Amino acid sequence: MSKYLNLAYKNLHRRKIRSFLTIGGVGVAVAVLVSLLGFNAGYRIALEKDVSGMGYQVLVTAKGCPYELATVALAGTGSLRYLTDDTVAKIKQDKEVSELTPMLMVPLIKEDGNGFYTFWGIDKDSYTALRPMVKIASGKHKEKVVDPSSGQEVDKEVDGPMGRWFNTRQVKPDEIYLKNGRVVKGLIVGTGEYEKITGKELNPVSGEYTETKKAFKSVKIMLPSRIYTKAEVLSVTGALTLKAGAQIKGEVNKVDENNFKVTSKDAQGAEQANTYPRDQVLKAEDEVFLKDGSKVTGVILSQTQDGYNVGDIELAYPNTEEITSDLIETDSQGNLKIVNNKADEKSETEVVIGWEAAQTGFMQVGQKMTLKVKEMAKEKVKEKVIDPVSGQEKEIEKEIEKPVFNAYTFKVVGILERGGSKDDGSYFVQLEDAQRIFRKYKMLTGIGIKLNDIAKLPMFTDRIYNRKELGETQVVSLAEVKGTILNLVQTAKILVMSVAFIAIIVALIGVMNTILMSVFERTQEIGIMKAIGASRMDIFKLIWLETIIICALGGIVGTVIAVFGGSYIEKLIRAVMSKAGYVPAGQIVHFTPQIIIGCFFGAIVLGVLSGIWPAYRAAKMRPIEAIRSGE
Amino acid sequence: MGDNIVLEAKELKKYYTRGSETVKALDGVDFAISQGEIVAIVGPSGSGKTTLMNLISCLDTPTSGVLNIGGADVTHFKESQLIAIRRKYIGFIFQQFYLIPNLFAVENVELPLIFAKKPINRDKILKVIETVGLKGKERIPAYMLSGGDKQRIAIARALINEPKLLIADEPTGKLEIKVRDQLLELFRQLSKKGISVFIATHDLELAAKAGRIIHLQDGKIIPKEQSSLYH
C-alpha cells in the first residue's frame, strides 16, 4: 500500500499547481464547514453560560412580543419596554419569591454607531445577593489616585481588590409646587421660556388688533403617569389629607399662602367649602375612581379629550409633562418654587465596569470615564409650507427625530472579575443614578427573580398574570429564553449549512474534474501500467488514492485555517450578528475534537466519493487504445 | 509443443470492424518462438505487426485461432487471467519507453513488482539494473535520463518479473545507431540467459541481426522474397 501511496503522491506532485489549487478548494470548503460547526457548538456553550450565569431563573418584564423582548433584554439591543419600580414591591409579596432584584438596562449607541455600551442600573445589595458570581476582581493593578501634594492624578500600584461597589445613595425626586397646593414629584429634564399670545384687543381708531403676549417659564418634568380614558373613569375628586389623619374630599384649591380651600358637594348637591390652614395639611391629592371599582390617587396633570393624565401614582408609566409658570407657586423673590434634588453635580456618578469593558477602554479604578454616545432626540422644528387654500406661505411646527451626540462622565470605582459572560462587557451603576442620568425615571426593564421552588414556576406565572395591578407584565423563564434564541439560531444555521453544503458540492465537482483531467492526460501512462502488469483494480486504487490524498490534505489545510483563523471568524460572526441580534459573550466559535476529526473524515469521504468516477474511468481503459492514444 | 517452445500461434486471426468494412489485421498466422530465440518481425505499416504484438503480449484477444503461452491457451482467457500471464511470462518494451517521468529509475523498475504484488527485493532490482548496464543511475528521475538509458530502464522494468518472453515494439526507433547496437548486444546476452526476444521493427538492419525474421504483410506471414520492404 505504501508503494501505491508513493506512486499516487508522485503523480500529484507532478501536477503541483493543479493539485495545490484543488487542495485549496477542498480546504476552503472544509474550513467553512469546521467554522460553522464550531460556531454552532460554541454558540450553544456560550449561550448556556450566559443563561446559567444569570443567577435568577425568572425574569419579569413589561409585556412585549413574547420571548422576543426577553431576547432583546438579554441581548442589550433594540427597543425596550418598561416596568415601573413599584412593581418590585408588589411581586415581592408573592409567596414563591425567594429573592428578587430590579434592573434597568440601558443600551447606549456608541458615537460611531458601532455597537452599544450596555449599562445596568442595579440595586447593589439585592443584585449581588442574587448573582454572587458578579464580584469585584482582585490582584495587582494600577489605580488612579489624586496626589495630595500636587493635586494631580497619578498611578498607584495596588495589590488587592480592584476598587469597590458604588456607595448606595438615595436620590429623591424633584418637586414642583403647584398653585393649587399640590406637589408634583418627578425628574426635571429641562426648563424653557416661551411667549404666548393671551389676548387680542381691537383698536377702534386703526381697526387693528393689538395682541397681548405673556412670557412663561416652563419646567419639563418626567414622572410616572398614565392616561385613564373617560370610558374608564367614573368620577374624579381631590383629597386633602390633614396631619391629624382626616381626609377631606373635594376640589382642592389654594386660597393664599397659608390656606387651602376644599369645595365639595353634599348628597343634595349643595356646595360646601371649607378652609384649612397650611400647617395642618399633610398632602393634597387627586383621586380618580375607576369604573372597575378601583381608585388611583395622584395628581391630575392634564385633562384631555381622551381622559385624565394622572401623575405620580402607583400604576404608572413614565411620561414627560411641561408645567408652565402660571401653575407653579413662586417664592418670595418671585422665583418658581422648585426643589431640584439632582444629585450633587460635582460628584460623578460611580460606575463599576466589567473586565472586558475595562480592558478595551484601558480603564483603571479611580479614573474618570467619558463615553460618547449617539442618542435620538425629538426636536420641534418650524417649516414653511404653502397653504393650499389661501396660497400663502405659513409656518407649521413639526416634531422630528434626530441624532444627538452626548457624553456621559462617570468615575470608575470598581472593576469586576472576569466571568466569561455578558457581564464582562457591561457597565453597572446604581439603579437610581441610571434612572436619573438616562432619564428613565422610575423605570425598570426587568426584575430578576429566584423562586423558592422552580417547579412552581407555572403557578407563579399564573398568579402574576392574574394580578391586574401589575399592569402589562410578562414572566419569562430563562430556559424559555434559551430555547427561543436557539430556535432563532437554528433557522440561521439551516441557511448557513446549505451554503456549506453547496461549497462541498462545488469542492466535490472540482476534485472530480481535476482527477478526471489528470486521468485523461495520463491515458498512455495508464495503458503502460496495464501492459506491465497492472490490473483494473490496481489502476482504480491508484487513482482513488490520489483523490483521497487531495481531500485529506484539503481537510488538514481547512481544519488548520479554521482553527488558526477562528478568532477572525469569531470577529466576523460577531460583527454580523451584533447587527442582527443576540451574541453571547465569551467564545462563540468553539472547536471540539469531534468537529475537527469529523470534518477531516468528512473530507476523506468527499475524496472517496469524488474519486470513484475518475478511478472507474481510468480502470476501464483498454490498454492498447490507451497506449496508442498518444501516437 | 516441445518443452522449449515459449509461444506458439496457430491460425491466429484478428478482425476489426471499421464502419461497415471488416479489416483483417491478422488473417491466419502460424509461428512458434523457442526459448532463448531472438525473433524479428518486419513488415510495412498496416501489415499487422502491432496487432500481433498486442495479441502475444495478452493486451488484446484474437478473433479466432490458438495462442499458447507457457503451455496455456490464452485465446479465451478473461482479463484477470491475461493479467496473470502478462505478469508471469511477458516483459514489454515500447518505442517511446513510457517510463513514469517523475519516478526514479529504480522506482520505474519496481513498478511491475508492485502490480504483481511481489516483494520489493532491492538486490534483485539492482541486479537487473546492472544487467542493463545502468548501475549507479538508480536514483535519477526517469525524465533526466538519455534516450538510450531510458530504453535500458524500460528493459530492466520488463525484466524484473523474470519473463520468458521480451516483446519489443520498435525498441531502437528513437535511438542513435551506436546505442542501437549496444541494445542489440543486450538482447543477445538476455537470449543467452534463456529469454526469448520478440522484436517488431521497420529497421531491416536491426532485423538482420536477429536470429530469425518473420515477414508480415497484409496480416499474413510471407516469405522474404515477397515482402514489399525489399522493393
What HEC string does A495-530 produce? HHHHHHHHHHHHHHHHHHHHHHHHHHHCHHHHHHHH
Is A184 in the same domain as A268? yes
Is A488 in the same domain as A598? yes
Q: Percentage of chain B with pLDDT > 90?
A: 6
CA distance A564 to chain B (A): 34
> Is the Cβ of A529 closer than 8 Å to some Cβ of chain B?
yes
The helix/strand/coil state of A206 is: coil
Beta strands A83-84 and A443-444: pairing type?
antiparallel
CA distance B4 to chain A (A): 24
**Domain range for residue A614?**
2-49+484-628
Is A581 in the same domain as A513? yes
Q: Looking at chain A from residue 240 to 279, which residues have their Cβ under 8 Å from any Cβ of chain B?
A: none
Q: How far apart are alpha carbons A308 and A228 in whole angstroms?
A: 5
Query: Does residue A477 fall inside a structural domain?
Result: no
Q: Which residue of A has its CA nearest to B84?
A: A533
Q: What is the tens place of the pLDDT at every residue in B90-112?
A: 888 887 778 888 888 888 898 88
Only one residue has cell 458540492, namely A505
Is A438 in the same domain as A355? yes
- Residue B58's contacts (CB-CB under 8 Å, 6 or more residues apart) are B69, B74, B77, B82, B83, B85, B86, B90
By C-alpha distance, which of A595, A600, A608 is closest to A508?
Answer: A608
- Residue A213's contacts (CB-CB under 8 Å, 6 or more residues apart) are A195, A196, A197, A198
Name the band, by pLDDT with cuts 50, 70 and 90, for residue A316: low
Distance (Å) of CA B116 to CA A557, B119, B157, B160: 35, 9, 12, 11
CA distance A558 to chain B (A): 28
Q: How far apart are alpha carbons A67 and A61 in whole angstroms?
A: 10
Q: How far apart are alpha carbons A108 and A434 in whole angstroms?
A: 12
Name the band, by pLDDT with cuts 50, 70 and 90, for residue A283: confident
Tell me what the mean pLDDT of segment B37-66 comes to.
Answer: 86
Q: Which residue of A has its CA nearest to B86?
A: A533
* CA dihedral sign, ordered B16, B21, B25, B29: positive
Only one residue has cell 393671551, namely A198
- Residue A309 pLDDT greater than 70, yes or no: yes
> Is the Cβ of A624 closer than 8 Å to some Cβ of chain B?
yes
Best of A532, A536, A538, A622 to substitute, by most chain B Cβ atoms within 10 angstroms, is A532
Instruction: Write out the H or E segment, with its range, that includes residue A537.
Output: helix A536-564
Of A309, A339, A369, the last residue of a domain is A339
CB burial of A461-475 (b: ≥16 within 10 Å; e: otherwise) equals bebbeeeeebbebbb
The domain locations on chain B are 5-230
pLDDT at A416: 92
Q: With contact defined as beta carbons under 8 Å apart, do B172 and B202 qualify?
A: no
Of A471, A502, A537, the last residue of a domain is A471
CA A370 to chain CA centroid, Å, is 20
Query: Does residue A520 fall inside a structural domain?
Result: yes
Strands (E), chain B: 5-18, 21-34, 38-42, 64-69, 72-73, 90-93, 165-169, 196-201, 212-217, 220-222
Cβ contact, residue pair A531, B100, below 8 Å: no
Side chain identity at residue A105, one-letter code: M
Only one residue has cell 464550531, namely A38
Quote ipTM for the complex: 0.82
Query: Does residue A59 fall inside a structural domain?
Result: no
Count of beta carbons in the 10 Å neighbourhood of residue A95: 10
Q: With contact defined as beta carbons under 8 Å apart, do A516 and A613 qualify?
A: yes
What is the CB-side half-sphere exposure of residue B32 using CA atoms within 13 A? 13
Name the band, by pLDDT with cuts 50, 70 and 90, for residue A323: confident
Residues of A in contact with B80 (CB under 8 A): 535
> Is the Cβ of A151 closer than 8 Å to some Cβ of chain B?
no
Say which of B59, B96, B101 has its CB closest to residue A623.
Answer: B59
Is A309 in the same domain as A348? no
Q: What is the tens place of the pLDDT at every residue in B159-203?
A: 888 888 998 888 877 677 787 888 888 888 888 988 999 998 888
**pTM of this structure:** 0.57
CA distance B5 to chain A (A): 22
Residues of A in contact with B81 (CB under 8 A): none
Cβ contact, residue pair A535, B80, below 8 Å: yes
Higher pLDDT, A395 or B164: B164
Residues of B in contact with A623 (CB under 8 A): 59
Is A202 in the same domain as A326? yes
Cβ contact, residue pair B83, A535, below 8 Å: yes
pLDDT at A344: 58
CA distance A10 to chain B (A): 7
Gyration radius (Cα) of chain A, Å: 36
Best of B102, B114, B155 to substitute, by most chain A Cβ atoms within 10 angstroms, is B114
Number of compact structural domains in chain A: 3
Is A215 in the same domain as A87? no
Higher pLDDT, A233 or A317: A233
Q: How far apart are alpha carbons A382 and A401 in whole angstroms?
A: 14
Q: Percentage of chain A with pLDDT > 90?
A: 6
Is A83 in the same domain as A155? yes
Beta strands A338-339 and A174-177: pairing type?
antiparallel
Q: Which residue of A has its CA nearest to B78?
A: A535
Q: With contact defined as beta carbons under 8 Å apart, do A627 and A529 qualify?
A: no
CA distance B79 to chain A (A): 8
- Residue A578 pLDDT greater than 70, yes or no: no
> Is the Cβ of A15 closer than 8 Å to some Cβ of chain B?
no
Is A95 in the same domain as A204? no
Mean pLDDT rounded to a whole number for chain A:
81
Phi, psi of A210 (to 5 degrees): -105, 125
Distance (Å) of CA A483 to CA A68, A460, A478, A518, B216: 11, 20, 8, 51, 86
Tell me what the mean pLDDT of segment B26-30 comes to.
Answer: 89
Distance (Å) of CA A120 to CA A103, A105, A354, B203: 7, 5, 11, 98
Residues of A in contact with B59 (CB under 8 A): 530-531, 623-624
- Residue B127 pLDDT greater than 80, yes or no: yes
Tell me what the mean pLDDT of segment B62-87 comes to.
Answer: 87
Tell me what the mean pLDDT of segment B47-61 comes to.
Answer: 85
Q: What is the tens place of the pLDDT at every residue in A166-194?
A: 887 777 788 888 887 788 888 888 888 88
Q: Which residue of B has its CA nearest to A7?
A: B103
Query: Does residue A394 fall inside a structural domain?
Result: yes
Residues of A in contact with B86 (CB under 8 A): 531-533
Q: Which residue of A has its CA nearest to B101?
A: A14
Q: Could you say which DSSP state residue A344 is in?
A: -
Is A190 in the same domain as A317? yes
Distance (Å) of CA A278 to CA A240, A256, A271, A433, A552: 11, 9, 22, 34, 92
Q: Which residues pair with A319 in a beta bridge?
A: A223
- Residue B40 pLDDT greater than 50, yes or no: yes
Question: What is the CATH T-level fold of the domain B5-230, as seen in this structure?
Answer: Rossmann fold (3.40.50)
**Chain B residues interacting with chain A (CB cutoff of 8 angstroms):** 54, 57, 59-60, 79-80, 83, 86-87, 92, 94, 96, 98, 100-103, 107, 110-112, 114-116, 120, 157-158, 161
Q: With contact defined as beta carbons under 8 Å apart, do A148 and A127 qualify?
A: no
Tell me what the mean pLDDT of segment A288-316 comes to.
Answer: 76
Mean pLDDT rounded to a whole number for chain B:
85
CA distance A12 to chain B (A): 10
Q: What is the tens place of the pLDDT at every residue in A128-139?
A: 888 888 889 888
> Is the Cβ of A629 closer than 8 Å to some Cβ of chain B?
no
Environment class of B187 (CB within 10 Å of its CB; exposed 0-12, middle 13-18, buried 19+): buried
